[in-house]
Amino acid sequence: MKDLILVRYGELALKGNNRADFENRLVQNIHEKLKPFPGVKVRKTFGRIFVDPGDHGSKPVLQALSEVFGVVGISPAKRVASDMDAIREAAVHLVRHRQSPPSTFKVVAKRADKTFPHTSQEINRTVGTAVLKGVQGIRVDVHQPELELHIEVRGKETYLYGENIPGPGGLPVGSSGRVMLMLSGGIDSPVAGYLSMKRGADLEAVHFHSYPFTSNRAKQKVIDLARMMTRYGGTIRLHVVPFTEVQTQIRERCTPSYLITIMRRMMMRISEETARRQKALALVTGESLGQVASQTLESMNAINDAAQIPILRPLIGMDKQEIMTISKQIGTYETSVLPYEDCCTVFQPKSPVTRPRVDKSRELESKLEVDRLVREAVEQTEQICITPEQTEEFSYF
């Protein structure tokens, strides 16, 4: 009797080549995710993926698989020889060792070929009887069973699986092309990055750092957040842009109420150029409509005007509470709320304009050396490759 994990994936609309790409990408991502478990085997058969957890046992491997986008459900499974005694024994074992033992069940048997000497009906009946005998207090319910125990006879081998643990759904990371996340140290942008990865985007991130106005602790916080996000999408390339000169020049030459608007326009230009160099097809931000004074439609217009590239705002329809809930689920919340300054907070004018105008923004900006500032910021950008394993220790205090 061999313990396996059955991985189910979805997106029913996928057809033809798309489906093959999707499956190959998913298998590749699963391999990547399971790297900390040497010896684990991943095999795609019959339109499903089976993972053999080897010596590691199912539990930690199940946990890891539940963080891989594209996985719709995961089931502890067993593979036995196609022999009625072995099947019965495995069935009882599966039901008994479910996380929470079911009170009702039904057996759903299928024969892929007819060489097995029993019909599906016979398997249902025999195995059903064995489970009733072997598991105390359990009943059969053919209409709404708590557990559907599936048995698939495939030649010499038979697969059994029951419990379906929901996966995160979505699409395999990398199947939708690359995006550039504008990652601050706040609560929102990591969630926006997570949701982009959920739809299959391969993520890179750009962060604007204004040393010495913002400290190394603030930068480290962003590195830590990026590392937490690698849990869901593997290695992330982080571009840390030196932003001090840009901010200083804006402060010296522009009207205070437009400081934030002009600053964001400069961020967009630099992010767009960084995206172009990395072949990313869109920017992603953590903005949500009306959340703060700077996140009005007028403001978004004034900001978008500075860039050609599409700007995705996955949180646009969410309340802060909903965003915080996801942030806690994905594990970034505790780090996001650490009180380190962001380049926006140190740059906050007393009364920022809430309905900035595009023409006024352009006019004010004509006093800046836009091209030089963008070019130099991009040239001086530091690239950090963030892998799921922490390589260096950093203490905030």
Contacts to Mg ion by CB under 5 A: 184, 186
The least distance separating Mg ion from the CB of residue 377, rounded to whole angstroms, comes to 19
**Rounded-to-integer distance, Cα 280 and Cα 284, Å:** 10
Contacts of 19 (CB under 8 A, 6+ apart): none
What count of Cα atoms within 13 Å lies in the side-chain half-sphere of residue 15? 1
Is 16 flagged in the annotation as binding?
no
Residues in contact with ligand ATP by CB under 6 A are 182-184, 186-189, 206-208, 285-287, 291-292, 294, 342-344
Smaller CB separation from ligand ATP, 29 or 196: 196
Q: Helices in the chain by DSSP H: which ranges? A: 16-33, 58-65, 84-96, 120-134, 188-198, 216-233, 244-253, 259-277, 297-304, 320-330, 333-336, 358-365, 370-379
182 binds, among Mg ion, ligand ATP, none (CB under 5 to 8 A by kind): ligand ATP
263 binds, among ligand ATP, Mg ion, none (CB under 5 to 8 A by kind): none
Smaller CB separation from ligand ATP, 75 or 294: 294
Instruction: Confirm if 77 and 161 have CB atoms less than 8 A apart.
Output: yes
- The encoded tokens of residue 26 equal 């998913």
Smaller CB separation from Mg ion, 27 or 222: 222
Q: SS3 for 65?
A: helix
Dmax (CA) of the chain: 86
183 binds, among Mg ion, ligand ATP, none (CB under 5 to 8 A by kind): ligand ATP
* Residue 2 bridge partners (DSSP): 79
The crossing angle, in degrees rounded to 10, of helices 216-233 and 188-198 is 20
Closest CA to 200 of 14, 73, 34, 386: 14
Pairing outcome for strands 104-111 and 147-154 = parallel
Is 208 flagged in the annotation as binding?
yes
The least distance separating Mg ion from the CB of residue 123, rounded to whole angstroms, comes to 59
The least distance separating Mg ion from the CB of residue 186, rounded to whole angstroms, comes to 3
Smaller CB separation from ligand ATP, 64 or 191: 191
294 binds, among Mg ion, ligand ATP, none (CB under 5 to 8 A by kind): ligand ATP
Is 286 flagged in the annotation as binding?
yes
50 binds, among Mg ion, ligand ATP, none (CB under 5 to 8 A by kind): none
The least distance separating Mg ion from the CB of residue 184, rounded to whole angstroms, comes to 4
**Rounded-to-integer distance, Cα 307 and Cα 269, Å:** 6
Q: Report which residue's Cβ sits closest to ligand ATP.
A: 186
Amino acid at 354: T
Pairing outcome for strands 178-182 and 41-45 = unpaired
Smaller CB separation from ligand ATP, 138 or 263: 263
The least distance separating Mg ion from the CB of residue 185, rounded to whole angstroms, comes to 7
Q: What is the DSSP letter of 15?
A: -
90 binds, among Mg ion, ligand ATP, none (CB under 5 to 8 A by kind): none
292 binds, among Mg ion, ligand ATP, none (CB under 5 to 8 A by kind): ligand ATP
Is 213 flagged in the annotation as binding?
no
The least distance separating ligand ATP from the CB of residue 190, rounded to whole angstroms, comes to 7
Name the helix (H) or strand (E) containing 107. Answer: strand 104-111
Smaller CB separation from ligand ATP, 162 or 186: 186
Smaller CB separation from Mg ion, 1 or 292: 292
**Rounded-to-integer distance, Cα 203 and Cα 178, Å:** 6
Smaller CB separation from ligand ATP, 255 or 291: 291
Is 295 flagged in the annotation as binding?
yes
The least distance separating ligand ATP from the CB of residue 293, rounded to whole angstroms, comes to 9
124 binds, among Mg ion, ligand ATP, none (CB under 5 to 8 A by kind): none
Classify residue 262 by burial, with Cβ atoms within 10 Å: 0-12, 13-18, 19+.
buried
Closest CA to 267 of 291, 296, 287, 253: 287
Residues that constitute the known binding site: 182-183, 207-208, 264, 286, 295
Residues that constitute the known binding site for ATP: 182-183, 207-208, 264, 286, 295
